[in-house]
Homo-oligomer: A and B are copies of this chain.
Amino acid sequence: MKYCSDCGAKLVEQIPANDDRLRYVCPQCEIIHYQNPKVVVGCLPVAGDKVLLCRRAIAPRMGYWTIPAGFMENGETMLAGALRETREEAAAEVCDEVLYRLFDIPHINQVYVFYRANLNGGFGIGPESLESALFSEADIPWSELAFPIVTDVLTEFFADRKTGEYPVRVSTPSPLWAKHVGWEPDTDKTL
């Protein structure tokens, strides 16, 4: 961030009055340009004892399996975003959606919010996917999952399925994996 998006003036970094962090401030129009985490929303579509995964057609982790997810847009709810991503990436409709899993990923300034839902009909292949497929627990390609948070959600889901209890969890994955897959803070890269 170098220029004011409101007036085009060169920004300066300073700690504003009544604040304790460096911000980008416009010396011309005095606007403080805050930078805040982004929300990624997704959905785990369930069909009987199987879940629907997509194989990524895009970087990062192209060719690896993931859960439909992407950046939440202005003007939509988290669930609406999760359903949109499920349509876009897996050409799938779902029903009976329930909030399921949150992740903090502070080193890339992202929050993930996943719903569980039942697959409602067929599915297909979106432009950002190479293929989509249903997997039972025994068939999950554990070594070919795109991100550790996908491993976490699937591991928890199959354990929860045995108890019938699906608590809403929130945790932070290890920062090491972001480095592993080549993610950098403040980029618009996502699942």
A→B interface (CB under 8 Å): 1-8, 10-11, 18, 21, 32-39, 71-80, 99, 102, 104, 106-107, 109, 111, 113, 127, 168-170, 172, 185-186, 188
B170-A78 in contact (CB<8A): yes
Cβ–Cβ < 8 Å partners of A18 in chain B:
127
B2-A3 in contact (CB<8A): no
From B2, B38, B73, B99, give the contact of A8 (CB < 8 A): B2
Provide the bound-state CA to CA distance between A1 and B99, in Å: 33
Provide the bound-state CA to CA distance between A172 and B79, in Å: 11
Q: A5-B3, A36-B38, A37-B72 are in contact. Are A104 and B77 (CB under 8 A)?
A: yes
Nearest-Cβ distance from residue A102 to partner chain B, whole angstroms: 7
